[in-house]
Structure 1
Amino acid sequence: MSFFSDTEAGILQRHLSRRSLLGGAAASGVLVTPLALLGGTARAAGDSAPAEITVAGAHQAPIPIVIPDFGPGLGNQISGVISADLSSTGLFQVMGGTVPASVQPDFSALKGRGARVAVAGSAAGSDSVRVEMRLWDVVAGQQMEGRAYTASQSNWRRIAHIIADAIYKRLLGEDGYFDTRIAYISRTGPRRHQSTRLAIMDQDGANAHMLTNGSWLTLEPRFSPISEQLAFLSYANNRPRVYVYDLNTGQQTILGTFEGISFAPRFSPDGRSIILSATTRDGGADLYLIDLATQHRRRLTSAPGVIDTSPCFSPDGQNIVFNSDRGGSPQLYVMSVNGGDARRISYGHGHYGSPVWSPRGDQIAFVRIGSGGFTLGVMGPDGVGERSLTQGFTVESPSFAPNGRALAFCRQNAAGAGGAGFSSSIAVIDVAGFNEHIIPTTTGASDPAWSPLRR
């Protein structure tokens, strides 16, 4: 479980009777086809193509890239989304300009502007839209990529995100994360009496819509890695339990039957099971693994009075990182998915929680609470190399982008008398600790959960 706000902590505290839980502190539908080469010789393309520049290099010197309008109306909107996607990473210096869509560009003129790469594109159609994109290596004077995308007009934003992903991958050698969504908790009303609703949006904040009506406190959404499902915590009928929400049908299903409350769900990497925490009669909480097909559950931890929570799988599904107060204060532990001995990995100053394993397997993100407030950081799976990414009054609920390059998290500010001035928003930061920015939302927002790349 994440570190909760005061209101949520109070609700859970009544069920657990343990303040230690908080550590003592408050591309379906898009057809993609190759384009014929426009003169000369193309650079090697495809999944095996080498990156043109490293991410570390782009961090130090963002890639100068020219992205022109793809035409009036819809074309202009598509190029605007592509530009915004690439700019949001901090790895690209996006420039406007004119690049012809059907002939080779003037490389000398582009070089004179300092461009390293240029994009050319066009958009045509009404009910069905065809968008063409070419990526040019300005320095070498060669075409790097050429594709056409066809979809219904309602999918134009997806086409733009898919193009941005293609550019990102061709230049940096790793998958992008623009054609993704973020599930989150929408928050409205006074701080102490907020209405919370399960919600979903594109990763840039567009196309947001509510999935639940706000009748009950809702928290902790988690995406399935393989299907259109979300696991989340709902207080429906005043009984906190984990539910699974089907994004295709809107159906909500209770996951498992527990004597106490169940919370902190997380899908396994293969999407076939969910690990969660469930409270016990002695005031603790144990970890359980539930098979989604059979509903069979297996207890992974069992220690009287100990709270084990916030479990998250390693990308290979062989290990679990979780938060536990078994040593006297909330710290991070790693153990086999089969249970058994757990190894502590957090030894810094303060209380640790909200661990989440990077899709790359090389880092674990976490939240640490100390005398200076909240810190969002990362460390190796063995606890080595801990470093801080950002701090604040409250920073919590980290969630990795599917390529492991960025982290979404919740940032909340301190409130004045009566909750005045309080805000809760979703921010994104590069795992190198730079380029933090807020995702625009129409309401207050928390508990972000990044989806896999859409297929």
Structure 2
Amino acid sequence: MTLLPCARHFWLLVALFVLSSPARALDLRLTSGDWRPINIFVEKFAGEETLAGQPLSGVIHDDLSHTGLFRSYSRTVSSYGGVDTARLVDVRNRGGEYLLTGQVRKDGAAELLFFELHDALTEKSLGAFSINFDAQTQRTAAHQVGNWVFESITRKPGIFHTKVAYVRRAADGSNALRVADYDGHNAQTILTSDNNIISPTWTPDGNELLYVSFERRKPVVYRQSLLNGERRVVANFRGSNSAPAMSPDGRRIAAALTEHGGLQQIYLLGGNSKQQMRPELESGIINTEPTFSPDGKRIAFTSDEGGSPQIYEYSLDSGLTRRLTFGGREAVSPDYDSAGARMVYVQRQKGANNIALLDLSSGNTVVLTDIQQAAAPTFSPNDVMVLFNDEKKRGSLSIVSVNGKVLSGWGVKETGKIINPVWGPIKSKWY
């Protein structure tokens, strides 16, 4: 699907604006405090009521609302083709800065969506385009429009088309490795097993997944293609093999092994080589949960070297290690942002597990959630949101904006428990 410029339409479809605040299955929570969001009015698209499923305008509304950068208002009528100065003045008087309008029309067997974004402050159109879709690509088309709106206003890349991987654990103990849209829709199963599956992670190109399966009666790391389903073992050493992570250049894999019968230590695997990351360590210390920095020069990991689990960072150039986290009783599950400048992790304090955001240059930490049982945080590819699982909520995942102002849940719910989410890259070839 490609966005195509379309001609301006000048007939008046609807003359009435109705403002309503967002309230659907999005489960949106806005926090109080100093917050200056971008106010955008997303109108109902004319003709979208003929489509099955969630309205296109509703998908876009939810996309923008998740980010914490927008306060999106849905409107129950459409003015596509009839937006004039008076209309934009009215939007501006209601506190709106932008107005998105649209119309759905038949195009043979397919559908065609026309849409236009207006700046209510300058009273100018920022672009009018069309996109075609069918029943299978309806949500994808809406996400692409959401991407365009997001990018046009923020100048940041849109990620509403991206995928997440996770494990669904059923009540009978069976496991399924799943991939879905970032908001939980269009889920598909990659692998099912009667044994545990844990720790999925993406290869840098987004075309393969690494994960740990217990089908050989112990943890073994596998690599599986999403292009052709090919699957192979990448770490099956003596003892436990877990917590895989791939370097940005795709040449090395870091994994936590217990090869010598001891506690977990991190090894770097590449080609036929295997090298322990910190061979000088005394016995009795656990190192696990490695993750590479975006430049491939650092590895963040969890270690109990200081007496309790905390996040450390190892330099592959110098071989030196520094401790990153100090607040909270424990800190686990680190994930870098795309610039390697910030990190999210789980902070354990006073019996509660919450998502924390660490600035690596200043050392400042902000706790983003207050939900008690957060786990497995993962940055969106544009660093605007963090996906994680709230262990109190079975069958869905949660998203918190990096400014901590918006906490929302998936609009869909699966049977069983969802664990170990990981957000995929912006581009890949398999979808």
User: Of residues 51, 56, 75 in structure 2, which corresponds to 1:78?
Assistant: 56
Question: What amino acid is the match of 1:71?
Answer: G
CA 366–108 in structure 1, closer or farther in 2 if over 3 Å, else same: closer
Q: Secondary structure at the match of 1:236?
A: coil
User: Of residues 66, 73, 85 in structure 1, which corresponds to 2:42?
Assistant: 66
Contact in 1 for aligned 2:111/2:133 (Cα 8 Å): yes
- 146-155 or 342-351, larger mean C-alpha shift: 146-155
- Structure 1: gaps (5+ residues): 1-29, 40-56, 414-421
> Is 2:271 the counterpart of 1:300?
no
Question: What amino acid is the match of 2:407?
Answer: E
Q: Give the corresponding residue for 1:441.
A: 413
Q: Measure how far apart 1:282 and its partner are.
A: 4.6
Q: Measure how far apart 1:338 and its partner are.
A: 4.3
Q: Measure how far apart 1:376 and its partner are.
A: 1.9
User: Of residues 58, 75, 88 in structure 1, which corresponds to 2:66?
Assistant: 88
Structure 2 Cα separation of the partners of residues 273 and 152 of structure 1: 41
Structure 2 Cα separation of the partners of residues 395 and 89 of structure 1: 19
Contact in 2 for aligned 1:412/1:424 (Cα 8 Å): no
Q: Which digits, 9 at most, give the CA deviation of each residue in 1:340-366, with x for residues without a partner?
A: 121112222412211111113221111
Structure 2 Cα separation of the partners of residues 181 and 70 of structure 1: 29
Question: What amino acid is the match of 1:270?
Answer: D
CA 132–213 in structure 1, closer or farther in 2 if over 3 Å, else same: same
> Is 2:302 the counterpart of 1:323?
yes
Q: Give the corresponding residue for 2:234.
A: 255
Q: Secondary structure at the match of 1:84?
A: helix
Q: Which digits, 9 at most, give the CA deviation of each residue in 1:230-258, with x for residues without a partner?
A: 11111112121111121222232111341
User: Of residues 232, 245, 259 in structure 2, which corresponds to 1:280?
Assistant: 259
> Is 2:408 the counterpart of 1:431?
no
> Is 2:96 the counterpart of 1:132?
no
Question: What amino acid is the match of 2:45?
Answer: D
CA 424–95 in structure 1, closer or farther in 2 if over 3 Å, else same: closer
Contact in 2 for aligned 1:126/1:153 (Cα 8 Å): no
Q: Which digits, 9 at most, give the CA deviation of each residue in 1:109-130, with x for residues without a partner?
A: 4345443211122333354443
Relative to its length, the structure with more helix (as a share) is 1
Q: Which digits, 9 at most, give the CA deviation of each residue in 1:199-255, with x for residues without a partner?
A: 121111111222222311011111223132111111112121111121222232111
Structure 2 Cα separation of the partners of residues 339 and 38 of structure 1: 62
Q: Give the corresponding residue for 2:22.
A: none
- Structure 2: gaps (5+ residues): 11-32
> Is 2:141 the counterpart of 1:159?
yes
Q: Secondary structure at the match of 1:445?
A: strand
Question: What amino acid is the match of 2:337?
Answer: S
CA 389–111 in structure 1, closer or farther in 2 if over 3 Å, else same: closer
Q: Give the corresponding residue for 1:146.
A: 128
Q: Give the corresponding residue for 1:4.
A: none
CA 183–409 in structure 1, closer or farther in 2 if over 3 Å, else same: same
Question: What amino acid is the match of 1:82?
Answer: I
Question: What amino acid is the match of 1:209?
Answer: Q
Q: Which digits, 9 at most, give the CA deviation of each residue in 1:47-71, with x for residues without a partner?
A: xxxxxxxxxx994244132322242
Question: What amino acid is the match of 2:67?
Answer: T
Contact in 2 for aligned 1:284/1:304 (Cα 8 Å): no
* Alignment RMSD (CA, Å): 2.6
Structure 1 Cα separation of the partners of residues 361 and 97 of structure 2: 40
Contact in 2 for aligned 1:70/1:79 (Cα 8 Å): no
TM-score under structure 2 normalisation?
A: 0.83
Question: What amino acid is the match of 1:168?
Answer: F
> Is 2:175 the counterpart of 1:201?
no
Q: Secondary structure at the match of 2:413?
A: coil
Q: Give the corresponding residue for 2:6.
A: 35
CA 101–241 in structure 1, closer or farther in 2 if over 3 Å, else same: same
Question: What amino acid is the match of 2:267?
Answer: Y
Structure 2 Cα separation of the partners of residues 361 and 116 of structure 1: 33
Contact in 1 for aligned 2:334/2:343 (Cα 8 Å): yes
Question: What amino acid is the match of 2:368?
Answer: L
Q: Give the corresponding residue for 2:424.
A: 451
Q: How many residue pairs are counted as aligned between the two chains?
A: 396
Question: What amino acid is the match of 2:295?
Answer: D
